[in-house]
Structure 1
Amino acid sequence: MTSLPIEETQRLPADWRDLFALTKPRVMSLVVFTGLCGLLSARSPIHPVIAFTAVLCIALAAGAAGALNQWYEADLDAKMRRTANRPLPGGRMDRQSALHFGVGLSVFSVILMGFAANWLAAAWLAFSILFYVLVYTVWLKPRTAQNIVIGGAAGAFPPLIGWAAATGDTPLLPWLLFAIIFLWTPPHFWALSLFVRTDYAKAGVPMLPVVAGIAVTRRHILLYTLPMIAAALAPWALGLASWIYGLTSIVLNLLFLALAVAVARNTATEPAKMGPEKKLFGFSILYLFALFAGIVVDRLVLA
């Protein structure tokens, strides 16, 4: 679907802002935050320089995955209004440069993580890049409406990597943090995809709203919210976090559930700009930031 090069047009010169745009900086901010939370939650003595380097490597790896995603999907991005002005479809950069940038950044981030922190963290970092590019971008996204369900694992690795960088180990709690992001991704992304489903339909991407419709997507948002809530409560329920995190998690999850129910009950033929879908999408970002901040505060207070 994306193996053919995009049509060559008069190419404008690329600058640092185009390279930065290749890294998907808005996505990277959440990746960096959750990776930092994983590192801090480990409560393991780590030199500040090593800690900074580990988080930097997570950011660079996320940027590398974003660049490789845009390299592979250049033709697809050109068909969608919200992505048509990215550096490649916008004609400001050639695909070979994006490929070299993505591969180089990937290799550099993994090697730096290995030498600065440990090779377990480096291995998980490498796996997360390969998972996002090969499993999600190349295999799942163009083939199944469940692409974001499985592919969501790619964005769930940062807290696991951060913990591994600090301790050289991956016990139960970082895996629960992984599970929270993994199960959070579908309701978060589907709430957004309802607004851009025509773009996906035009590009031939089988996102859930395209192949199953709005009503089914709304119900799936609620259905996937339930296991997400269970995962979010698990650290407290299993005694891995105190009442500080427990109370934070209960409040946030009740609010998330209320919004998901409102989405499922919405019968409008089109999602409104100020409707429940938009409110859920906006809150879902705040939810993840607040939940992970809660686990860090909880772990540091208990230290």
Structure 2
Amino acid sequence: MEIIVFSKAMYSTWLYYAPDRIMFDCGEGVSTSLTNKIYAVQRIFLSHGHADHISGLWGFLNTRNSAMGEREKPLEIYYHSSSSRIRKYLEFIMESSNRLKYEILIREIDEGFKLPLFPKDDELPGEETSEPSRKKSRYLEVFSTKHMETEITLGFHIKEKRKRLREPYRSMPQSEIRKVIQSKGTEEISEFYDQNLFTYSGDGLVMPLSRLVNTDTLFHECTFLNLEDRKGENHTSLEELLEPILEAKPKELYLYHISSRYSDSLRERIEKFERRMAENGIKVIIIPPGKICYY
């Protein structure tokens, strides 16, 4: 899995998820940082309309238009249907970029929106499907987060539909399972479930536990490493993350959108939190403010 991310609270945030060629948010400087990788991006999902999450769009679109690279495939941009800020900004960009050499598809979405990613078709796998080709179907799912009163903000899951043994058969010997299959078929012993491969929180307060559980890789904003530094109720603090993360138990936790006020003391402030996570089998990765990180 390849991920490239840059995040400095208040200035710029963007994340490129290479497995599905998706950009989450598009803050300032993204085209300068990604260079030719901007041609690999097929979809951009914007969490909300704050400038530090969308200000890189104009440069991204025009650099992609001017530099040498593939222009045959359209670029899709997704944002919440209520965001007048993003809508007006995109209208301005399109009016100012009337010689684009590639197609841009702009789509308004809402909470609960799902987009098939793999296989590349127009249908999401059904709960009861038994088609072998659908066992590893992957899709993106949109949910809302609590960040500001004036605009709905979004977070994103990338999920994969997998197949496993039903609970009654998991402790059964293989010889007994084979007998069940012979008499009732494989559908009797198996079930489909959705595994969260990746979750991106966008900006906001700590996500509800239901959004955190069953996630392999969790990117959660953590603007404040000290709760006392926060003014207002619109960003997450490290202290607030502790218990929900311990309960959710993601395999990997990436903390981003960290305030630059902590740049000189980042490691010492996070050390105790990291130790608690490690004791519970959770790996913590810090995205230092203002640094491009590759994973």
Instruction: Report the TM-score when normalising by structure 2.
Output: 0.33
- Structure with the bigger percentage of helix: 1
- Please identify the structure whose Cα radius of gyration is greater: 2
Q: Taking CA–CA contacts closer than 8 Å with sequence separation of 6 or more, which of the two structures ends up with the larger relative contact order?
A: 1
